[in-house]
Structure 1
Amino acid sequence: MGHGGAEIGGHKLAVLAGLTFNLDTLYMTWLTMAILVFGSLLVRLNWTLVPGGWQNFVEIVLEGLLAQIDSTIGPSGRKVAPLLITLFLFLLIANWLGLVPGFTSPTNDINTTLGLALMIIIIVHGFGIKNKGLLSHFKHFVEPNIFFLPINIIEELAKPVTLSFRLFGNILAGEILIIILGILVPYVAPTLWLAFSVFVGIIQALIFTMLSMSYLSNSLEPHHNEEKEG
């Protein structure tokens, strides 16, 4: 089953120093980053006091995400706001790339989504250790008592897995369905599903970002409470 000359779920491989690279994923990831960087520069260069066109869209996205960050994390959320906003925009562009003929979404590769999920988890623990210290941060693993340690460890390991597979599965399934509908019911059904997939791309980027926001809140919010109590 092809998609722009490539097999859905399959990847063009290259081996270097014993490591296997999915070339199509790398190309699409670089393209996503290039679109994000150049798009940001264009918006910045054309920024006006009276918004119009794309500036309206960008301001709505930024204000909405900042409001959600403030309500979920609190004042310290502004520390991670650039990360979360960039993450959302990256995922949005990456999800939409697969809807363009001849392109694939880098998020239809589990390596991409798992890599992003692991990055978030590492940052979460990094902030937790920085704010509360090593022992205080990991104290919740033995709460309410030591017997909950295995359960808490499994729950922590499940976070990047569920976070990554949710995004990967939805994007890959969407691309497969576009191809199937194009074969079975040409023109009308694929067009309708394509429009729906644009919406799905937004929702999946938002879900991943919101969950990342929630995980970060867990490592930042307790610190605020400690400060208030002090």
Structure 2
Amino acid sequence: MEDLTKVWTWTLDVAGFHLVFNATTIVMTLIIMGLLIAFGWLATRRTGLIPNPFQIVAELFVDSFWNLTKDALDEDMAKTYFPMICSLFMFLLLCNWIGIVPHMEEPTKDLNTPLGLGIMGFFIAHYAGIKTKGFGAYIKEYFEPIFFMMPLNVIGELAKVISISFRLYGNIMGGSIIILVVSHLVYGLIIPPFLYGFFGVFVGTVQAFVFTMLTLVYISVQVK
């Protein structure tokens, strides 16, 4: 388990506060952001009726998530939130897949990443609800069906952040633990490559999709 507990950190002293940053997560996140920017540039560099391979993949993502977003929200709102939903899935997909590459670590294996994205989705969803319904109607919903249900309704909304974040973190970290344990048992032979394929590609894809769709559903619930 030492491979999981060793963390490369950066420390910074600011105004008497000792700040510690997970350097691995930061570096991996920057690499993924760079890959996404490079992919976007390659996909849009020479668009045409006969698309290049990058354009084909980009159009697949755009078409699929545009339809999903439009089904969950109306078309006008989909134009606002579709870029975020599509980008979120692509970012999480690479975050979950990058662990397949030797010496690379999944940013989603650090709770700060899924929790940060969960909090982001929480604020976006509630902002959309206030903007669509108005502040008065938005607040009124917390007192339904009976006024003293308000604390439970607030807890229910906060629980969504915990649920969506820990689901992603638990699956990615759990997969890493299983791969590490099995690799030590069989000395890195035969089985681990199949586990990397299952937990890295299959589970990573499913969890990225689930997280993205739950974020979309939370927005949809708030605006309707």
TM-score for the superposition, normalised by structure 1: 0.89
2:163 corresponds to which letter in structure 1?
T
Q: Distance in 2 between matches of 1:102 and 1:154?
A: 40
1:11 partner SS: coil
- Which residue is equivalent to 2:142? 141
Per-residue deviation, residues 101-157 of structure 1 (Å, max 9, x unmatched): 101011101111101100111111111112222121122111001121121011011
- Which residue is equivalent to 1:74? 74
TM-score for the superposition, normalised by structure 2: 0.91
Shift of 1:61: 2.1
1:191 partner SS: helix
Q: Distance in 2 between matches of 1:175 and 1:46?
A: 39
Q: Which moved more, 1:101-110 or 1:129-138?
A: 129-138
RMSD of equivalent CA atoms: 1.5
- Which residue is equivalent to 1:207? 210
Q: Distance in 1 between matches of 2:155 and 2:5?
A: 28
TM alignment of 1:120-131, pairs within 5 A: 120-131=121-132
Shift of 1:10: 4.2
1:11 corresponds to which letter in structure 2?
V
- Which residue is equivalent to 1:86? 87
Moved over 4 A (4+): none
| Kept in 2: contact 1:92–1:205 (CA 8 A) | yes
Q: Distance in 1 between matches of 2:96 and 2:105?
A: 9
1:128 partner SS: helix
Q: Distance in 2 between matches of 1:215 and 1:10?
A: 35
Q: Distance in 2 between matches of 1:87 and 1:27?
A: 18
Are 2:174 and 1:173 aligned? yes
Bigger RCO of structures 1 and 2 (CA < 8 A, at least 6 apart): 1
Q: Distance in 2 between matches of 1:169 and 1:9?
A: 15
Are 2:190 and 1:188 aligned? yes
The sequence identity of aligned pairs, in percent, is: 36
**Aligned residue among 10, 17, 20 for 1:14:** 10
- Give unpaired runs (5+ residues) of structure 2: none
Shift of 1:73: 1.6
Q: Distance in 2 between matches of 1:155 and 1:10?
A: 35
Provide the aligned length of Structure 1 versus Structure 2.
217
Shift of 1:9: 4.8
